[in-house]
Amino acid sequence: MTTLDIARTPTSHLVETYAIAAAVHGEATESGNYRVANRNATIIEAIYRELRARGETALRELLPLLRDARPGVRGFAGAHCLLFAPDQASVVLEALASTPRSLVGLSAEMTLLEWKKGALRFP
């Protein structure tokens, strides 16, 4: 999906692609495959920027991902939803942060720390 494709892609399809990339990123992170994780982080970032450009209605399409079975999906959605649905997102991130020996959980913990300090920023 190129930048031009993203601009023309329906929001629902962007959210589906975001979820797939977040799931793959989470699995790659836990297994130590940084190349796959980084490639998917780039996809997630591009989709998030497009959703943000479309406005809060588009961003709210991420909220159902807070209930996804895959930790990587919940982690990214939780981080991105903190800015407009902090009560829902923080609960999800706190649950992930309590997961023992999980890199996704550690990421959720760090995300919450940065958010509470007021230092959480997304490109």
Interval 3-54: pLDDT, tens: 658 999 999 999 999 999 999 999 999 999 999 999 999 999 999 999 999 9
On the CB side of 31, CA atoms within 13 Å amount to 11
Q: Where are the domains of the chain?
A: 3-117
> For domain 3-117, which architecture applies?
Alpha Horseshoe (1.25)
Q: What's the rounded Cα separation, in Å, for the pair 20 and 17?
A: 5
pTM of the full structure: 0.93
Model confidence pLDDT, tens digit, residues 67-116? 999 999 999 999 999 999 999 999 999 999 999 999 999 999 999 999 99
